[in-house]
Amino acid sequence: MFRIVRKQILNPSVTLMEVEAPLIARKAEPGQFIILRVNDEGERIPLTIADYDREKGTVTIIFQIVGKTTEILGNLEEGDAILDFVGPLGVPSHLEGVKKAAVIGGGLGTAIAFPQAKKLHSLGAEVDAIAGFRNKELIILEEELKSVSNRVFITTDDGSNGNKGFVTDVLKKLLEEGNKYDLVIAIGPLVMMKAVSNLTKQYNIKTIVSMNPIMIDGTGMCGGCRVTVGGKIKFACVDGPDFDGHEVDFDEAMRRQLMYKKEEQVSLDAHKCRLRGVDNA
């Protein structure tokens, strides 16, 4: 069992949890993930490691409540425990040698972009962080990004924070101003990562994206997390989740992402019906 030592609501649908997992914290690196199971009747879900503290022996996860499992997880409180918490899985991000980088997060992807920016900052790189959200109520980790970045740019689709636009608008402006980046990291919705990759390809800038396809075992055995990169099949769990954004087949990934939307909603609706049945008993 893995005890939750801290819980923080970041916005109405996004929650941060710091979990006691000393063996994972000892080896975790940016870019890696864990797979958890809330209870013995639960499904396995992957979540990226948002942060870790080797001294405290804790791992931080940040998740959005979008389905049955994340809703059950979100109902846990400090002091409660998660049944299974396995990791670190995946290949750590290769960030050594980077002098100047743009780290871009879209929505919840900002939680995954943060450890990348933090690691680059610790290695002495100059970091421009860009994060985009639908509106100002959904903004997360702004102060945390400021602590590990030279500059932070926050945009919203509706302009409610005073900066209307998309992350690609900010990146394009920075590139047109003459900023030279060794690396661009883009993490968030597939359509956003595709747009960033299309832009940086014009400037011949190395671009890394973090893929989050359907995943079951996390060890390369099931094949569920396959993505096409450079015309070849790769598994996000053991070959990634970081890949060259200029080689990812985003259109295929977007089609596969929608495959089980109906079943996911059915599962969530059934869970809510059971809860109402208990409440009315």
Domain extent listing, the chain: 2-89, 100-257
CA angle 149–48–210, rounded 5-degree value: 70
Give residue 271's pLDDT band: very low, low, confident or very high (50, 70, 90): low
**DSSP labels for 134-151?**
SSGGG--SHHHHHHT-SE
CATH architecture type of domain 2-89:
Beta Barrel (2.40)
Sign of CA dihedral 64, 31, 202, 232: negative
Q: Report whether 250 belongs to an annotated binding site.
A: no
Tell me which fold the domain 100-257 belongs to: Rossmann fold (3.40.50)
Give residue 275's pLDDT band: very low, low, confident or very high (50, 70, 90): low
In contact, 67 and 53? CB cutoff 8 Å:
no
Task: State residue 219's pLDDT score.
Answer: 82
Q: Would you say the CATH fold of 100-257 matches that of 2-89?
A: no
pLDDT at 34 over 60: yes
Tens-place pLDDT, residues 182-193:
999 999 999 999
Give residue 216's pLDDT band: very low, low, confident or very high (50, 70, 90): confident
Neighbours of 252 (CB within 10 A): 13
Percent of the chain with pLDDT over 70: 93
- The distance of Cα 93 from the centroid of its chain, to the nearest Å, equals 13
DSSP conformation class of 248: B
Q: Report whether 62 belongs to an annotated binding site.
A: yes
Host H or E run for residue 22: helix 22-27
Tens-place pLDDT, residues 1-15:
899 999 999 988 899
Q: What is the average pLDDT across 196-223?
A: 90
Q: Report whether 273 belongs to an annotated binding site.
A: no
Q: Report whether 237 belongs to an annotated binding site.
A: yes
Task: State residue 261's pLDDT score.
Answer: 67
Task: State residue 281's pLDDT score.
Answer: 40
Task: State residue 263's pLDDT score.
Answer: 66
**CA nearest neighbour of 19 among 71, 69, 84:** 84
Tens-place pLDDT, residues 139-180:
999 999 999 999 999 999 999 999 999 999 999 999 999 999
Tens-place pLDDT, residues 94-144:
999 999 999 999 999 999 999 999 999 999 999 999 999 999 999 999 999
Give residue 234's pLDDT band: very low, low, confident or very high (50, 70, 90): very high
Q: Report whether 64 belongs to an annotated binding site.
A: yes
DSSP three-state, residue 174: helix
Max CA distance (Å), the chain: 65
State the number of CA atoms in the 13 A half-sphere of 221 facing the CB.
4
| Distance, CA of 234 to CA of 258 (rounded, Å) | 19
pLDDT at 203 over 70: yes
pLDDT at 280 over 50: no
